[in-house]
Amino acid sequence: MSAAGPPQGAKAPTGGSAAREAASVGTTFGKVAVLMGGASAEREVSLMSGGGVLKALLSMGVDAHAFDPAERALDELKREGFARCFIALHGRFGEDGTVQGALELLGIPYTGSGVMASSIAIDKVMTKRVWIAEGIPTPQYKVLHQGAFQRREVIEIPDALGLPLIVKPAREGSSIGVTKVMGYSGMAEAVSLAGTMDADILCEECIEGDEVTCPVIGEGDKAQALPVIRIVAPDGNYDYQHKYFTEDTHYLVPSGIPQGEEEAIQALVLKAYRVLGCRGWGRIDVMIDGKTRKPYLLEINTSPGMTGHSLVPMSAKAAGISYEELCVQLLQSATLDAKAFA
């Protein structure tokens, strides 16, 4: 699957014409707010993502400004004349349809998926239900609802899903609150941790094998998968710390998996992205069963990270798209759900 190229006029400026070329790109967007920070558990990562995006857009001549919804009311966007928003928020109140809905009411186009796709995709359980209905493979699971389960039900989950298994909050990202449970004795603590972050606790079959991720950019039939990245973390533990704050995790792109497998994963990821109604961009995490080589989709991120450790820029670079070009291309795709009914 070939990668989408940069938009018209968005190539990295070179030579003495750099300033003129950057300015010609930036002036088409008007005043742009880069939404970053926010009130979710991923605030710290969002600030890093937003800082990178802001710097990139400014370098391309875009009239871009930082805007933290945790510190300022969103209606200030309208009063201050912002024409577009680049959403660099992660997790709740930024990736779950809430900010998207507010921007719809304000009439300000924004990057990424719309209200419905965002609200479904943030919920790992709802995402699984849609994917299963469409025949897309995802690990088996059980859901515990906070305050509505007994100890006996928790202990019985390994009997249904096997060991090891994964316990996580249904609506958090960046591996926050995730536990790999190795034995029955670890269930209670894992469920308790996830339960501090969400009312719904997802217990999921653990697929052992290669961990990969595949970004997608675009919308509908024009959406395209970028190169697959294989993730090799210490002891297979790709947690929050290893994602953002250490150099111990290795990212392989080209992935090193057989070409046929990579193309099959790209096709599967595109289907999964489209059936949720996503647009703009996203990234889907996949486990490949080490014995059968069958891929299982874990979750989708509709506002992926843009930090120095982030995977979408890494994959885009392998496809010949620079960080700056990627930011401009995403900004160019900013739109509203309401436009579909205009």
Catalytic residue numbers read: 42, 174, 244, 283, 285, 299, 301, 305
Q: How far apart are CA 17 and CA 103, in angstroms?
A: 36
Q: What is the DSSP letter of 335?
A: B
281, 53 contact by CB (below 8 A): no
The CA distances from residue 301 to 112, 145, 206, 314, in Å, are 10, 23, 20, 15
Which position has the token pair 């209905």?
A: 133
Question: Residues, the chain, total?
Answer: 342
Q: How far apart are CA 304 and CA 49, in angstroms?
A: 9
Which position has the token pair 């968005």?
A: 10
The CA distances from residue 40 to 36, 44, 189, 302, in Å, are 11, 9, 23, 15
84, 334 contact by CB (below 8 A): yes
From 219, 111, 91, select the one nearest 100 (Cα to Cα): 111
From 52, 50, 9, 3, select the one nearest 332 (Cα to Cα): 9
| CA 308 to chain centroid | 15
